[in-house]
Structure 1
Amino acid sequence: MRSATAAKRVAGKGVAAECVAPKGRADAARNRERILNAAREAFVVHGADASLDEIARAAGVGNATLYRHFPDRDSLVHGVMHAVTERIAERAEQALAEEENSFEALRRFVFGAVEERIGALCPMLSGRFDPMEPRCLAARARVEWLTQELIRRAQQAGEVRTDIDVGDVMVALSQLTRPLPGVGCQRIERFVERHVQLFLDGLRAPAKSELPGHAVTLEELRQDN
């Protein structure tokens, strides 16, 4: 029969193991987050072929840690795009839940998406990312629905002109945050916030002008892809 002292010793080891495991998982989660953030910045500046060694160094982890989380470049690209899309959706949900003013909620979401570098990332990573992947489709649908809800609420409140649709916002986000030919990402960032604010001012109701064409829907954007 096991002695009381031995039983306590085993129990103590069990408690210690239970304490260590969550800490290990937390450390792994933090490392993964640091890698994804460093990769996002590297991909924005250098494109999808950015050095994985430099990404690991910028994240403050060893190469082995990076490869443990992301075995190859494509898995890292997928990880970055999923993380960015999820954070954009979370920003939209927070804006809807926390902002009383519907236009401020839309503004908060737009600038949140800008901070995630979505316009610069998409064209650089598109060749390595399957937009029809089920997880990608679900994440995109979530972002689209939330964006539509932000616009709908602002239009119902009389804060946003009624002749625009979610596609207009998506196009503007993509175009206004994308580097110009021959101009690096770091240089163009100085102007992004200014021009995004100009775009948002153009959304306000009552409208100051009549827009050419028609409101751009999500269906129309998908047809063009």
Structure 2
Amino acid sequence: MIASLRCGTGAQPRLRADALRNRERIIAAARETMVEFGAEVPFDEIARRAGVGNATLYRHFADRQELIHHVTLSVMSRTADRAESALAEEPDAFEALRRFVHAAVEERIGALCTLLSDGIDPAHPDLLAASERLEAAVEAVMGAARDSGQLRTDIAVGDLMVALTQLTRPLPGWGYPRTKSGGGCLDFDKFVHRHLQLFLDGLRAPGRSELPGSAATLEDLRHHRP
């Protein structure tokens, strides 16, 4: 999972509203362009996509590592937001899970996990907090579906996050950089929601078969990280 970066970013000073908007636009543009072109996408392209000058980008982010750190935080926060919103707004627990899963793929977790994995420091306090919030939000969605009797009981948060990661990771030959002929991560989208629905059907209780092994938690995934 995307869990965090070795970088020395600390508390950020309070920004004016216009500066905050620029910062958010840069992070969103960095996320999009890194998925399309790879983690080494030129800052010029990120600034162009964000609609800001290069000087504005560097004023907010001194280097690529700092920017990647904040892209990672943003993706984790947005994914947790989607889980919390789905649980709060959907009256049916399994529909909340379905909504979250389909919304979460829009964060490109699988593609970004591969791209941003270098230099990860799981002990970074910002990323630890983001990871804990994300895990709690996803567990709450799954717990509600499980308590309603609609989610099979041999599935845990780690199982779901592994599936989301794998289903949003480009296949070999569909990766980076994007080509003019259309190869690249974005062309993979038309398959993702279809396959996610097949996966969700397999999560419904009662299960049609016994799963090998045991349910995976995020702690299990951390222990098996290379």
TM range (shorter): 0.7 to 0.9
Aligned to 1:191: 191
User: Which protein, 1 or 2, shows the higher relative CO under an 8 Å CA cutoff with sep ≥ 6?
Assistant: 2
Distance 2:69 2:55 in 1: 19
1:168 equivalent to 2:168? Answer no
* Equivalent runs, 1:27-106 vs 2, <5 Å: 27-106=18-97
Match of 1:145 among 136, 143, 157: 136
Q: Which runs of 5+ in 1 are unaligned?
A: 1-21
SS of 1:127's partner is coil
Distance 1:60 1:66 in 2: 10
SS of 2:139's partner is helix
Aligned to 1:136: 127
Quote how far apart the aligned CAs of 1:113 are: 1.5
Cα RMSD over matched residues? 1.6
Higher helix share: 1
What letter corresponds to residue 148 of structure 1 in structure 2? Answer: E
SS of 1:126's partner is coil
SS of 2:116's partner is helix
Larger radius of gyration: 1
What letter corresponds to residue 105 of structure 1 in structure 2? Answer: A
Aligned to 1:17: none
Quote how far apart the aligned CAs of 1:80 are: 0.6
Aligned to 2:5: none
Q: Is the 8 A contact 1:161 1:203 kept in 2?
A: yes
Quote how far apart the aligned CAs of 1:213 are: 2.2
Identity %: 62
Quote how far apart the aligned CAs of 1:137 are: 1.0
Q: Is the 8 A contact 1:77 1:128 kept in 2?
A: no
Q: Is the 8 A contact 1:166 1:218 kept in 2?
A: yes
Distance 1:33 1:48 in 2: 18
Distance 2:70 2:219 in 1: 27
Distance 1:129 1:45 in 2: 21
What letter corresponds to residue 218 of structure 1 in structure 2? Answer: L
Distance 2:45 2:120 in 1: 21
Distance 1:165 1:86 in 2: 20
1:215 equivalent to 2:201? Answer no
Q: Is the 8 A contact 1:82 1:139 kept in 2?
A: yes
Q: TM-score, normalised by structure 1?
A: 0.86
Q: Is the 8 A contact 1:77 1:129 kept in 2?
A: no
In the TM superposition, structure 1's runs of 4+ consecutive aligned residues that sit over 4 Å from their partners are none
